Amino acid sequence: MKFGINTFLFASPFTNRHTRLFRQFKTWGFDGVEIAVENPADFDPAFVRAQLDRHGLVCTSVCACFPPSRDLRGTKAQQQATIVYMQRLVDIAGVLGTDIVMGPLYSATGRADAVPAAAYRQQWRTVRAHLKTICAYAEAHGKIICLEPLNRFETDFLNTVDQGLQMIREVKSPALKLLLDTFHMNIEEKNPADAIRRAGPHVGHIHASASDRGTPGNDNVDWPRIATALKDIRYDGAVVIESFTQDVKVIARAAAIWRKIEPSRADIASKGLAFLKKTLK
């Protein structure tokens, strides 16, 4: 099991100059970095890979981002833009040396406007068709797409592990797995540990996120049961801290971080990592 940190805690957008953070990440004890790619032109993947290698880190995963312009159930232009973007992220993942491209790629984040059942079914069919296209590209390049269920306040489309498993069954691609995030699961799942067990071999990536988006372990997530469930399914992939603070204004607004949750970003990273290593290993 490798432990990583998502770059959103420190930067938006991530650029070449933010590789200066890698030395500190390594000092804290992280194995790798989850690179959030808001726009592929923001950085040079080859340069970032070289800097990861220089500091003895790996890229755990590529984090996809979905503003209103990217939406697999949106306008034709939004749908096509998302497909092109995801294919580009698969290419970038190859340069960065990771197999995982992940995120809530079915919809623009924050689109939560429940529609009639018939319209939802049509959206589901549209997203399913596009996921087949994206996953075919990923499979051809040896990559995995990890689909992330989000809580009800961030999407009305796919909130639970069971919905994610249904999409996997219908897409029928070995390249499609689930990203499970403890923050979202803490809101939406009756029993997050049981949900992890149901997902079983379909779990491709884990976000360790506190119930208040602060430091893992300084919250009300039932971490011992999460740890047991991950052991039960023999999960040996990456566990990445995804937390947000007011320091990165764009992300603070998107994630509704309106107050100071922890003393510092360094506290979230260092104390969260120490807790996860103690609890999950």
The residues that are catalytic are 148, 242
Three-state DSSP class for residue 42: helix
DSSP-derived secondary structure for 194-213: HHHHHHGGGEEEEEE--TTS
Query: Are residues 100 and 62 in contact, defined by beta-carbon separation less than 8 angstroms?
Result: yes
Tell me how far apart the alpha carbons of residues 207 and 242 are, in angstroms, rounded to a whole number: 6
Strand partners, 101: 62, 145
**Backbone torsion region of residue 113, taken as left when φ is above 0, otherwise alpha when ψ lies between -120 and 50, otherwise beta:** beta
Tell me how far apart the alpha carbons of residues 16 and 102 are, in angstroms, rounded to a whole number: 21
Tell me how far apart the alpha carbons of residues 154 and 57 are, in angstroms, rounded to a whole number: 31
Three-state DSSP class for residue 61: strand
